[in-house]
């Protein structure tokens, strides 16, 4: 528990005379601690009480020269010393300006409730501060003398300043305990407390709620490759997206390093929220630009519907959401699913995990190998005699099994794309293919290298591929990167940027499986040409 002594030590106040007292009042007004006063009988001002609200959010109040005039007038006792008796003082204004007003009122002229609290039958000294016709603070005391009133106000001001600092320190402690320091969202501990309360309210009101868990795919890579400062800015941007996308009444928490939880009270439509989240992270927010660096990302999420009376704990609910996120990631990530949905795909999931593990083992054991398919140019070379000319090879991926036999990679490539390690395989294929061609010693061979459509939005991939080609000594003009037409037309703008970047580095580009969607390809060629 904080006490007043602690507050005084944290914010020492040294006031030795009346002038400093009112200078302190002026400073606190300037720092925005006084809120507009609502004067009605529900806000009764007891004798010697200063009626105001404290706030850190109000904009700073400009201080005019009249305040110093007021201080000087009070210190010098001007005005009241000319009114020695009650009869002379009643209902008399002794100081008036657009900002400040000091006046006396007769006991009969104040409200019945105020008169009850004052419990006196003497004149009252009123002190008011106005800004733009709004009264910011108001004080009144029983009329004794100006000096006595000032001393009373001094003691009261010190008391209220103390209380303010105690509240401020308590608020700071509350923020440290309940809020995530970086994002300002609820901490994990606070979120769990809120979740317990929502479960109780849900059962009482017989209304369910949705809880959402979101995990940023490959955030560790962003942090490790671009640095913690960019990583923190990324998390801050992501948290702002959540704040912007949900209501203020929704509970949003940074639950872990790259994990966020949200509770939507009274909302039970799983399908609509899943669709909304997919639109958010697959269309509207799939890339942030931080310090002029475009960072593409995806999100894996789980949604759980709590039905009133379910009799499960907050810990159970969190476990179900985290289990859903884990399943989504094992299925390749970049998706949002509800808890009940994961069991419908159990067989498919187990098959994919089996393929994934086999492929990762093959990579570890260096069993990803290229084979070369010649590309034959059929022509007559300007004469009637047919001439077959081989000057290009397409590098195709194969997987060696435990017996040395070659396995076609098609289903494995899909798995690598779903589980986001296709870039690693593409780079392995590029490196091995370049090495084999270099060992052949034929610098005129043109090599076609297949890459995944997932690379179309990755400048980092282009830079890595460029380095491999440079290290091989093979001219970039002899390298043609191939991507399927389907992948290109699914994201035409990204493909166009990718191709232009390749061309600027001296590489060539080709579309595989050309002719599937003629009209779309026309649009693609048009964008590329422009």
Tell me the three state secondary structure of residue 444: coil
Whether the pLDDT of residue 39 is over 70: the answer is: no
More confident residue, 348 or 328: 328
Virtual CA dihedral for 487, 490, 492, 495, nearest 10 degrees? -30
Quote the CA–CA distance of 136 and 129 in Å, as a whole number: 6
CA neighbor of 322 nearest in space, from 250, 415, 260, 241: 260
Structure token pair of residue 434: 């370049």
pLDDT at 95: 45
Quote the CA–CA distance of 254 and 258 in Å, as a whole number: 8
Pairing of strands 100-105, 387-400: unpaired
Structure token pair of residue 403: 């017996």
Q: Do domains 188-340 and 350-529 have the same CATH topology?
A: no
Tell me the three state secondary structure of residue 371: strand
Section 506-510 average pLDDT = 87
> pLDDT tens digits, residue range 432-452?
999 888 887 666 788 999 888
Section 472-487 average pLDDT = 81
Instruction: Give residue limits of the domains in the chain.
Output: 4-178, 188-340, 350-529
Quote the CA–CA distance of 516 and 513 in Å, as a whole number: 7
* Model confidence band, residue 108 (pLDDT cutoffs 50, 70, 90): very low
Structure token pair of residue 114: 């105020």
Pairing of strands 508-512, 93-96: unpaired
Tell me the three state secondary structure of residue 67: helix
In eight-state DSSP terms, residue 453 is G
On whether the CB atoms of residues 48 and 156 are closer than 8 A, the answer is yes
Options 3.40.50.1400, 3.40.50.20, 3.30.70.270, 3.40.1030.10; which CATH number does 188-340 get? Answer: 3.30.70.270
pLDDT at 379: 61
* Model confidence band, residue 255 (pLDDT cutoffs 50, 70, 90): very high
pLDDT at 174: 63
Q: Considering only the top CATH level, what class is 350-529? A: alpha beta
Q: Distances from the Cα of 161 to the Cαs of 8, 91, 146, 165, in angstroms?
A: 9, 31, 22, 6
Structure token pair of residue 46: 């007891």
Mean pLDDT of all residues in the chain?
70
**Positive or negative: CA dihedral 126, 131, 135, 139:** negative
Section 404-426 average pLDDT = 86
* CA atoms within 13 Å, Cβ hemisphere of 492: 14
Pairing of strands 259-265, 50-51: unpaired
Whether the pLDDT of residue 366 is over 90: the answer is: yes
> pLDDT tens digits, residue range 302-335?
999 999 888 889 999 999 999 999 888 877 788 8
> pLDDT tens digits, residue range 52-62?
322 222 223 33
Give me the residue label for tokens 């890595």: 464
In eight-state DSSP terms, residue 282 is I
CA neighbor of 306 nearest in space, from 199, 147, 213, 169: 199
On whether the CB atoms of residues 458 and 487 are closer than 8 A, the answer is no
In eight-state DSSP terms, residue 377 is E
pLDDT at 172: 62
Range with lowest mean pLDDT among 100-104, 107-111, 211-215, 397-401: 107-111
pLDDT at 432: 92
On whether the CB atoms of residues 251 and 263 are closer than 8 A, the answer is yes
Quote the CA–CA distance of 460 and 454 in Å, as a whole number: 12
Section 393-412 average pLDDT = 89
Tell me the three state secondary structure of residue 355: helix
Quote the CA–CA distance of 447 and 437 in Å, as a whole number: 8
**Positive or negative: CA dihedral 415, 419, 425, 426:** positive
Tell me the three state secondary structure of residue 507: coil
pLDDT at 259: 94
Give me the residue label for tokens 């939005």: 457
* Model confidence band, residue 158 (pLDDT cutoffs 50, 70, 90): low
> pLDDT tens digits, residue range 183-216?
889 999 889 988 998 998 888 888 899 999 999 9
Whether the pLDDT of residue 49 is over 50: the answer is: no
pLDDT at 347: 75
Neighbours of 440 (CB within 10 A): 10
pLDDT at 2: 29
More confident residue, 174 or 528: 174
* Model confidence band, residue 18 (pLDDT cutoffs 50, 70, 90): very low
> pLDDT tens digits, residue range 61-101?
333 344 444 444 444 444 333 333 333 333 344 445 544 45
pLDDT at 171: 62
133: phi then psi, degrees, rounded to nearest 5: 65, 10
Angle at 232 between CA 229 and CA 234, to 5 degrees: 110
Pairing of strands 508-512, 299-306: unpaired
On whether the CB atoms of residues 119 and 100 are closer than 8 A, the answer is no
Question: Can you list the positions of beta strands (E) in 100-204?
Answer: 100-105, 124-131, 134-142
Range with lowest mean pLDDT among 239-253, 491-505, 510-524: 510-524
pLDDT at 166: 62
CA 5 to the chain's CA centroid:
39
């Amino acid at each position: 528990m904080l006490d007043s002594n602690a507050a005084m030590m944290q914010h020492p106040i040294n006031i030795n005379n009346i002038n400093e007292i009112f200078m302190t009042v002026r400073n606190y007004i300037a720092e925005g601690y006084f809120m507009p006063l609502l004067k009605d009988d529900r806000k009764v001002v007891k004798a010697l009480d200063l009626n105001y609200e404290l706030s850190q959010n109000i904009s700073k109040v400009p201080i005019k020269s009249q305040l110093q005039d007021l201080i000087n007038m009070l210190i010098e006792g001007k005005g009241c010393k000319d009114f020695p008796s009650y009869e002379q003082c009643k209902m008399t204004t002794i100081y008036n300006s657009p900002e400040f007003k000091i006046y006396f009122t007769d006991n009969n002229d104040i409200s019945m409730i105020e008169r009850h609290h004052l419990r006196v039958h003497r004149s009252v000294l009123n002190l008011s501060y106005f800004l733009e016709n709004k009264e910011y603070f108001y004080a009144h005391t029983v009329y004794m003398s100006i000096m006595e009133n000032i001393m009373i106000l001094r003691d009261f001001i010190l008391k209220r300043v103390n209380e303010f600092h105690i509240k401020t320190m308590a608020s700071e402690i509350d923020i440290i305990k309940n809020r995530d320091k970086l994002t300002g969202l609820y901490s994990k501990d606070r979120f769990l407390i809120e979740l317990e309360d929502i479960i109780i309210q849900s059962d009482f009101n017989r209304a369910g709620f949705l809880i959402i868990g979101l995990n940023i795919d490959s955030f560790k890579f962003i942090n490790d490759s671009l640095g913690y400062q960019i990583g923190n800015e990324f998390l801050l941007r992501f948290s702002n997206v959540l704040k912007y996308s949900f209501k203020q009444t929704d509970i949003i928490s940074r639950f872990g390093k790259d994990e966020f939880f949200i509770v939507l009270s009274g909302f039970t439509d799983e399908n609509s929220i899943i669709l909304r989240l997919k639109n958010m992270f697959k269309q509207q927010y799939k890339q942030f630009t931080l310090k002029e660096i475009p960072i593409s990302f995806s999100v894996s999420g789980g949604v759980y519907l709590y039905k009133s009376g379910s009799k499960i704990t907050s810990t159970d609910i969190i476990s179900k959401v985290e289990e859903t996120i884990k399943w989504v990631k094992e299925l390749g990530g970049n998706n949002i699913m509800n808890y009940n949905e994961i069991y419908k795909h159990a067989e498919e999931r187990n098959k994919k995990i089996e393929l994934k593990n086999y492929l990762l083992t093959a990579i570890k054991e260096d069993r990803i190998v290229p084979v070369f398919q010649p590309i034959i140019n059929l022509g007559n070379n300007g004469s009637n005699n047919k001439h077959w000319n081989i000057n290009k090879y397409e590098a195709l991926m194969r997987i060696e099994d435990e017996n040395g036999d070659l396995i076609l990679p098609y289903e494995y490539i899909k798995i690598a794309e779903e589980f986001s390690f296709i870039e690693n395989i593409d780079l392995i294929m590029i490196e091995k293919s370049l090495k084999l061609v270099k060992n052949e010693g034929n610098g005129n061979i043109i090599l076609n290298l297949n890459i995944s459509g997932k690379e179309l939005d990755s400048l980092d991939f282009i830079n890595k591929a460029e380095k491999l080609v440079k290290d091989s000594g093979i001219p970039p003009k002899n390298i043609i990167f191939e991507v399927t037409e389907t992948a290109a037309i699914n994201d035409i703008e990204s493909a166009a940027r990718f191709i232009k970047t390749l061309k600027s580095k001296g590489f060539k580009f080709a579309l595989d499986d050309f002719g599937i969607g003629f009209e779309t390809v026309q649009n693609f060629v048009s964008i590329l040409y422009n």
